[in-house]
């Protein structure tokens, strides 16, 4: 199981991540992703990491 971490310096606010696992992310008023404490399966986490066009997501063991 994994948690995802978002780098707010890299995030472009495309919301690709939310289309994969909405429970893992909220968005600040400027549209930048902020992580939640949600835990997701490894495959979903890897899909999130690979879908991010700005490479702003890192998956870590929960």
CATH assignment of the domain containing 35: 3.30.70.20
For residue 30, report the phi and psi dihedrals to the nearest 5 degrees.
-90, 5
Residue 62: band (very low, low, confident or very high) from pLDDT cuts 50, 70, 90 = very high
Number of independent structural domains in the chain: 1
Q: Which domain holds residue 50?
A: 2-61
Q: What is the mean pLDDT of residues 40-59?
A: 98
List pLDDT tens digits, range 2-48. Answer: 999 999 999 999 999 999 999 999 999 999 999 999 999 999 999 99
Cβ-based neighbour number of residue 43 at 10 Å:
9
């Amino acid at each position: 199981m994994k948690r995802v971490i978002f780098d707010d310096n890299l995030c472009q606010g495309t919301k690709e991540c939310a289309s994969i696992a909405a429970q893992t992310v909220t968005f600040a008023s400027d549209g930048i992703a902020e992580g939640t404490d949600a835990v997701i399966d490894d495959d979903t986490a890897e899909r999130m990491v690979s879908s991010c066009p700005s490479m702003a997501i890192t998956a870590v063991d929960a």
